[in-house]
Structure 1
Amino acid sequence: MMYRKIKPHNFSEEELREIWKTEYCQKSIVTFDGIIVQFFDQMFDHCFFESHSRREKDKSILSLNRLEKIYWIKDTLQDPEAILKDGWDSKTGSYDKSRRIALVKNNYIVVIIIFSPVKARFVTAYEVNSEENLKKILASPDYKK
């Protein structure tokens, strides 16, 4: 896979949103195992803004680190070498087989929710910065289709 980075500081926020829209919202993204993943304009904010505090979850800071990997989302979903795990649902406090985590490059994850055998919706993507959280993800159940 390519896993190319961009220099987000060379783009305006509007241009970055346009990349999101044209690359994800207006195209059909299919995982390596045949699941069509839906993306929507408003997901940009959730994915590319970070909170200045984990407690507040205010999503007030545009994350250049996340944006430089804007194309990694597609690459990760289409990478047959990705490690696939069941996702954690914090609301229920348990693993959810409809949430799939794809882990690549040692610490980059993309989370999708699968709602039919061939359809899913994008949730988020980011680098896992905590060794403890990475260990939890790696210890979670393997995803089984």
Structure 2
Amino acid sequence: MKFYEDMFDHAFFESENRKRKDKSILSYNRLEKIFWIKATLQDGNAILKKGWDNQSKEYYKDRRVAIVKGNYVVIIRFTGLLKAKFVTAFEKEDISNILSGPDFERSMEYFGEDK
């Protein structure tokens, strides 16, 4: 798993105006949970769902959404065999739309053969 500088704005800042999505305000609430990201990715009991692409209105083949603690969400994007890039992490009060999506499935492309 790799973290890139460009993803920190999205994960640890909030928008003053949701419509503009400017990510102009440092979120202390999100910063307090920075260590939750690793814990979520390693949690064997996390709920795993496929990520949703709002633009194409279909599920991503390379995105995994992990949910722990009832409503904490971590999204990663697979980039190759056993490689992924952090996308974002957040708390969401109503995650019913995420839970109603299909379960994440391990593919040969990103996980190789099952042992």
TM range (shorter): 0.7 to 0.9
SS of residue paired to 1:42? helix
Distance 1:59 1:79 in 2: 28
Q: Deviation of residue 54 (structure 1)?
A: 1.5
Q: Deviation of residue 125 (structure 1)?
A: 0.2
SS of residue paired to 1:38? coil
One-letter amino acid of the counterpart of residue 111, structure 1: I
Instruction: Kindly provide the CA deviation profile for residues 20-71 of structure 1, in whole angstroms up to 9, marking residues without a partner as x.
Output: xxxxxxxxxxxxxxxxx11112321121011022211010111011011010
1:140 to 92, 101, 106: 101
In the alignment, which residue of structure 1 is the partner of 2:26? 62
SS of residue paired to 1:115? strand
Structure 2 alignment gaps of length 5 or more: 107-115
> Is the counterpart of residue 109 in structure 1 residue 73 in structure 2?
yes
TM-score (norm 2): 0.88
Misfit runs of 4+, over 4 Å: none
> Is the counterpart of residue 47 in structure 1 residue 8 in structure 2?
no
Distance 1:40 1:78 in 2: 19
Instruction: Kindly provide the CA deviation profile for residues 78-102 of structure 1, in whole angstroms up to 9, marking residues without a partner as x.
Output: 1111000000011211111211000
Structure 1 alignment gaps of length 5 or more: 1-36
Calculate percent identity across the aligned residue pairs.
56
One-letter amino acid of the counterpart of residue 105, structure 2: K
Alignment of 1:1-145 (within 5 A): 37-129=1-93, 131=94, 134-145=95-106
One-letter amino acid of the counterpart of residue 116, structure 1: G
Distance 2:66 2:8 in 1: 19
SS of residue paired to 2:52? strand
In the alignment, which residue of structure 1 is the partner of 2:110? none
RMSD: 1.0
